[in-house]
Structure 1
Amino acid sequence: MNSALAEPLKTALVLPRLRLSWSAAVYLLILAAAVLNTLYLFVSPLDLSPDEAHYWDWSRHLAWSYYSKGPFVAWLIRGSCELFGNTVFAVRLPAVLCSTLMLVALDRLARRTLGSAKLSFWLVAVVLTLPPISAGAVLTTIDAPFLCCWSWALVFVHRAIFENDDRSWTRAGIVLAVGTLTKYTMLAFPVLIGLFLIVDHSRRPTLFGCGFRRMTFLGCLGLIPILVWNATHDWLGLWHLFGQAGLATGPKIGFKWYGLLDYLGGQFAFLVGYWFCVWLAAAWTFRPGREANPHFAFLWWLSVPLVLMMLPFSLRVKVQPNWPATAYLPGIVLAVAWLRRQFEGESKIYRRLVIACLALGILASLTLTIVARFPRLALPLFAKLAAEPTDDQLAPVRNLDPTARLRGWRYLAGEVDKLRDLVRSEDGQESLTGAMVWTLPGELGFYCEGNPQVYTFGVALSDRFSQYDVWRPNPVADAQAFCGRTFVYVGEKMPDMNAVFERCDGPYRVEYRENGVTVGGWKLWIARGYRGFPTSHKLSQY
Structure 2
Amino acid sequence: MLGGSPPSTISDNGYILRLILCLGALLALRLAAVHASAVDFVMDEAQYWTWSRDLAFGYFSKPPLIAWIIRGAGELCGQSEACIRSASPVLYTLASVMLFASARALFDARIGFWSAIVFATLPGVSYSSQLITTDVPLILLWTVMLYFWVMLVKRQSMGWAILLGVAIGIGLLAKQAMIYAALCMACHAAVSRDARDALKGSRGIVAAVIALALFSPNIVWNAQNDFPTAKHTGANISWQYPYVHPLALLEYVGAQFGVFGPILLVVLIRGAWREIREPRDENKILLLAFSLPVLVLLLLQALLSRAHGNWSATAYPAATIFVTAVMLQMNRQVLFRISLALHLAVAVIFAAVPAFARQWPMFEQLQFLRSALGWQDVAGVVRAKLAAEPYGAVLVRTRDMAAEMLYYLRDSDVPLVIWAPGPEPHDHYQMTRPLTAATPEPILFVSLRPCPTTILDAFDTSESLGVERVDLVKAQARDAISASCPDTRAPGDPARSDRREVIGALI
- TM range, normalised to the smaller chain? 0.7 to 0.9
Do residues 208 (structure 1) and 196 (structure 2) align? no
8 Å CA contact 1:198–1:207 kept in 2: the answer is no
Partners of 2:384 and 2:330 in 1: how far apart?
62
8 Å CA contact 2:264–2:339 kept in 1: the answer is yes
Please identify, of 315-324 and 42-51, the stretch whose mean Cα deviation from structure 2 is larger.
42-51
Partners of 1:486 and 1:160 in 2: how far apart?
59
Equivalences for 1:379-394 in 2 at 5 Å? none
Equivalences for 1:189-200 in 2 at 5 Å? 189-200=181-192
Structure-2 change in CA distance of 1:313 and 1:333 (3 Å): same
Partner-residue secondary structure (3-state), 2:504: strand
Q: How far is the alpha carbon of 1:15 from its aligned partner?
A: 4.4
The partner residue of 1:290 within 254, 264, 278 is: 278
The partner residue of 2:344 within 362, 366, 370 is: 366
TM-score (norm 1): 0.81
Larger Rg: 1
Q: How far is the alpha carbon of 1:505 from its aligned partner?
A: 1.6
AA aligned to 2:406 is G
AA aligned to 2:146 is L
Please identify, of 84-93 and 178-187, the stretch whose mean Cα deviation from structure 2 is larger.
84-93
Partners of 2:356 and 2:130 in 1: how far apart?
20
Q: How far is the alpha carbon of 1:264 from its aligned partner?
A: 1.4
Partner-residue secondary structure (3-state), 1:455: strand
Partner-residue secondary structure (3-state), 1:141: coil
Partners of 2:498 and 2:408 in 1: how far apart?
16
Do residues 259 (structure 1) and 248 (structure 2) align? yes
8 Å CA contact 1:99–1:136 kept in 2: the answer is no
Equivalences for 1:302-381 in 2 at 5 Å? 302-343=290-331, 355=334, 357-375=335-353
8 Å CA contact 2:444–2:504 kept in 1: the answer is yes
Structure-2 change in CA distance of 1:332 and 1:451 (3 Å): farther
Q: Residue in 1 aligned with 2:101?
A: 108
Q: How far is the alpha carbon of 1:313 from its aligned partner?
A: 1.5
Partners of 1:28 and 1:223 in 2: how far apart?
36
8 Å CA contact 1:26–1:120 kept in 2: the answer is no
8 Å CA contact 2:370–2:472 kept in 1: the answer is no
Partners of 2:13 and 2:313 in 1: how far apart?
31
Structure-2 change in CA distance of 1:484 and 1:23 (3 Å): closer
Partner-residue secondary structure (3-state), 1:66: coil
Q: How far is the alpha carbon of 1:491 from its aligned partner?
A: 1.8
Q: How far is the alpha carbon of 1:39 from its aligned partner?
A: 3.3
Is there any run of 5+ residues in structure 1 with no aligned partner, and where? Answer: 1-13, 344-350, 385-396, 530-542
Partner-residue secondary structure (3-state), 1:465: coil
Is there any run of 5+ residues in structure 2 with no aligned partner, and where? Answer: 1-6, 479-496
| Alpha-carbon displacement from aligned partner over 1:258-289 (angstroms, at most 9, x marks no partner) | 332222122123223222222212222222x5
The partner residue of 2:469 within 505, 509, 512 is: 509
The partner residue of 1:91 within 64, 72, 84 is: 84
Q: How far is the alpha carbon of 1:121 from its aligned partner?
A: 2.3
8 Å CA contact 1:254–1:317 kept in 2: the answer is yes
Equivalences for 1:139-150 in 2 at 5 Å? 139-150=131-142
The partner residue of 2:385 within 396, 419, 425 is: 419
Partner-residue secondary structure (3-state), 1:258: helix
Partners of 1:66 and 1:55 in 2: how far apart?
9
Structure-2 change in CA distance of 1:201 and 1:123 (3 Å): closer
Q: How far is the alpha carbon of 1:314 from its aligned partner?
A: 1.3
Q: How many residues align?
A: 481
Q: How far is the alpha carbon of 1:381 from its aligned partner?
A: 13
Q: How far is the alpha carbon of 1:79 from its aligned partner?
A: 1.9
Partner-residue secondary structure (3-state), 2:499: strand
The partner residue of 1:495 within 452, 467, 483 is: 452
8 Å CA contact 1:431–1:488 kept in 2: the answer is no
Do residues 481 (structure 1) and 438 (structure 2) align? yes
Q: How far is the alpha carbon of 1:59 from its aligned partner?
A: 0.9
Partner-residue secondary structure (3-state), 1:218: helix
Partners of 1:382 and 1:84 in 2: how far apart?
30
Partners of 2:226 and 2:194 in 1: how far apart?
46
Please identify, of 138-147 and 505-514, the stretch whose mean Cα deviation from structure 2 is larger.
505-514
8 Å CA contact 1:66–1:467 kept in 2: the answer is yes
Q: Residue in 1 aligned with 2:61?
A: 68
Q: How far is the alpha carbon of 1:237 from its aligned partner?
A: 1.7
Partners of 1:327 and 1:382 in 2: how far apart?
35
Q: Which has the higher contact order (CA 8 A, sep 6+)?
A: 2
Structure-2 change in CA distance of 1:99 and 1:310 (3 Å): same
| Alpha-carbon displacement from aligned partner over 1:172-208 (angstroms, at most 9, x marks no partner) | 1111111101111112202211221221135423333
Q: Residue in 1 aligned with 2:490?
A: none
Q: Residue in 1 aligned with 2:267?
A: 278
Q: How far is the alpha carbon of 1:332 from its aligned partner?
A: 0.8
8 Å CA contact 1:435–1:455 kept in 2: the answer is yes
Q: How far is the alpha carbon of 1:456 from its aligned partner?
A: 3.0
Q: Residue in 1 aligned with 2:500?
A: 522
Q: How far is the alpha carbon of 1:308 from its aligned partner?
A: 0.3
Partners of 2:268 and 2:361 in 1: how far apart?
34
Do residues 407 (structure 1) and 385 (structure 2) align? no
Q: How far is the alpha carbon of 1:411 from its aligned partner?
A: 2.5
Q: How far is the alpha carbon of 1:292 from its aligned partner?
A: 1.9
Please identify, of 400-409 and 155-164, the stretch whose mean Cα deviation from structure 2 is larger.
400-409
